[in-house]
Structure 1
Amino acid sequence: MGIKQLSTIVLLFSTIYMQAQLQAVAYSDANQKLEGFLATPTKPNAKKAGVVILHAWMGISDHEKETAEELAKLGYYSFVADVYGQGNKPANTEEAGKLAGFYKGDFTSYQNRIQLAIDQLVKAGANADEIAVIGYCFGGTGAIEAARGGLKVKGVVSFHGGLGKDGNRLAKPIAAKVLALHGADDPYVPAKEVAAFEDEMRSSKADWQLNVYANAVHAFTHKDAGSDNSKGAAYNEKADKRSWEAMKIFFNELF
């Protein structure tokens, strides 16, 4: 191998590393300390678009961080939001259920935590007029809440997220475009909830899409969820890849 070829390879790997590098970011909500993770693209897209990533119910994991790295490679400023705050990471599913349940019930607090993450993304260099929010599971619910709350975002993407809301909440106009990516056999988001979501989107005059993936249950993008659909949550490679491509097409339309 010649010196020129070696230099090219080193440059290529250096570029990939720089695109994928995450930076911890300290911020706060009043007295609650938060810690998110920023991935800054070496070559931002033309509009300097940014994406907030909302974690699943167990808190920030490698899954959300890897998503930020992949989005940075695509040219997006990416920020993994800390919804729970430092010192509040659940130790087990019982604690996770209580925390996620709190924010699902107190949706204004959830929307506020999302807004704080958007602020950090803009502070890092993203265009305030070119923002999207995506989320996984509990975070997918949060992405929909960003649209419901009228946050200044162009679009939201829910990966296997909860789609329902309290029936007493009135459907308000939704300006952000909505993409919901749903497992056809997800036991945690039954057909009744999906139908209610569709009715809500129509009532809200939203520009919305619902993609349903065959043989997929909850958490179909999480490789650590196993492969046993009977447990209600399992990884599905086809659904994972197809939903990622659907998000990319959606972003191309948005930005």
Structure 2
Amino acid sequence: MKQLLTIALILMASYTFAQLKPVAYKDGTQNLKGFSIAPSKKNLKKAGILILPAWKGIDKHSKIVAEDLSKLGYFAFIADIYGEGNYPTDNSSAGQKAGYYKKNVNEYQQRIKLAMQELIKAGADPAKIAVIGYCFGGTGALEAARMNFPVQGVVSFHGGLSRDATRTIQPIQPKVLVLHGADDPSVPAAQVLSFQQEMRDAKADWQMVYYANAVHAFTEPEAGNDNSKGAAYNELAAKRSWEHMKLFLNELFAQ
């Protein structure tokens, strides 16, 4: 009995009870409000994951992802891309606001950089950062790779893959993992092929995993389960993509 108590105390000592904390920061005069969480177990590597939410901004799903990453031993920070007073209220406004940042990519990149700084301030090692994103956020994760932000790797979950054809393709240093619904109508086959050629031209270390019977937003339970709508939750694809991400992160931070 005493031995079991000792083991229990050791296990408890290795864990903290991490909680999501709101973090106020700024882009010029624009107020931003992200969320930070520390590892819920000791992590000497101090690796950090920046989370870029889907098109409606910080939501329940992104918070669950942050908490799950904390349980895996990572620092996590959820970026606020839109800023206070600019949050979408429905699909139409979300499409307009996300579209703005896709066109004004420099502003999107700036918001990602600022959030990354907050992740580092929270305790993450600046040499051990990865960026993951969902849908619109997946597009942002790829932008972090295209601009060679100081990160080890990026992960896009059912994200947009397009790039302005006038932009110069530069060698990409961060490793790239794209987790993609095989039946996603939001990403035409031509866009997929163009992206893959971009990765080859950039001499990137890239991977792309397809999930059968999965459309857009396959990680989002609130998307429903009707594939005919073009966006739907797929439990199997969600679980598989999470495991693929974990494997990728383990590789990034192995040393």
Same fold? TM cut 0.5:
yes
Q: Distance in 1 between matches of 2:83 and 2:6?
A: 43
Task: Give the structure 2 partner of residue 204 of structure 1.
Answer: 202
**Maintained 8 Å contact 1:135/1:141:** yes
Structure 1 pair 7–33 and aligned structure 2 pair: CA distance change class (3 A) = farther
Task: Give the structure 1 partner of residue 165 of structure 2.
Answer: 167
Of the three residues 219, 231, 234, the one matched with 2:232 is 234
What SS does the aligned partner of 2:217 have?
coil
Please tell me whether residue 18 in structure 1 is matched to residue 37 in structure 2: no
Task: Give the structure 2 partner of residue 94 of structure 1.
Answer: 92
Structure 1 pair 79–185 and aligned structure 2 pair: CA distance change class (3 A) = same
Task: Give the structure 2 partner of residue 48 of structure 1.
Answer: 46
Please tell me whether residue 72 in structure 1 is matched to residue 73 in structure 2: no
Q: Distance in 2 between matches of 1:243 and 1:96?
A: 25
Deviations 1:40-68 (A, max 9, x none): 01434332100000010011101001100
**Maintained 8 Å contact 1:44/1:76:** no
Match runs of 1:57-206 below 5 Å: 57-206=55-204
C-alpha displacement of 1:92: 1.0
AA at the equivalent of 2:249: F
**Maintained 8 Å contact 1:184/1:213:** yes
Q: Which consecutive residues of structure 2, in runs of 5 or more, have no partner in the other structure? A: none
**Maintained 8 Å contact 2:69/2:75:** yes
Q: Distance in 1 between matches of 2:12 and 2:235?
A: 26
TM-score by length of 2: 0.93
Q: Distance in 2 between matches of 1:174 and 1:31?
A: 32
Q: Which consecutive residues of structure 1, in runs of 5 or more, have no partner in the other structure? A: none
**Maintained 8 Å contact 1:52/1:133:** yes
Q: Distance in 2 between matches of 1:129 and 1:192?
A: 35
Deviations 1:206-250 (A, max 9, x none): 000000000000000000100000000000011000000000000
AA at the equivalent of 2:20: L
AA at the equivalent of 2:17: M
What SS does the aligned partner of 2:141 have?
helix
Structure 1 pair 211–135 and aligned structure 2 pair: CA distance change class (3 A) = same
Deviations 1:7-44 (A, max 9, x none): 9989989987813x100000000000000000101434
**Maintained 8 Å contact 1:44/1:77:** no
C-alpha displacement of 1:191: 1.0
Task: Give the structure 2 partner of residue 225 of structure 1.
Answer: 223
Structure 1 pair 189–26 and aligned structure 2 pair: CA distance change class (3 A) = same
How many residues align? The count is: 253
What SS does the aligned partner of 1:198 have?
helix
**Maintained 8 Å contact 1:48/1:127:** yes
Q: Distance in 2 between matches of 1:191 and 1:222?
A: 23
Question: What percent identity do the matched residue pairs reach?
Answer: 58
Task: Give the structure 2 partner of residue 252 of structure 1.
Answer: 250
AA at the equivalent of 2:122: A
Q: Distance in 1 between matches of 2:13 and 2:224?
A: 33
Structure 1 pair 91–12 and aligned structure 2 pair: CA distance change class (3 A) = farther
Q: Distance in 1 between matches of 2:14 and 2:232?
A: 34
**Maintained 8 Å contact 2:181/2:210:** yes
AA at the equivalent of 1:153: V
What is the RMSD computed on CA atoms of the aligned residues?
Answer: 2.2
Q: Distance in 2 between matches of 1:233 and 1:22?
A: 28
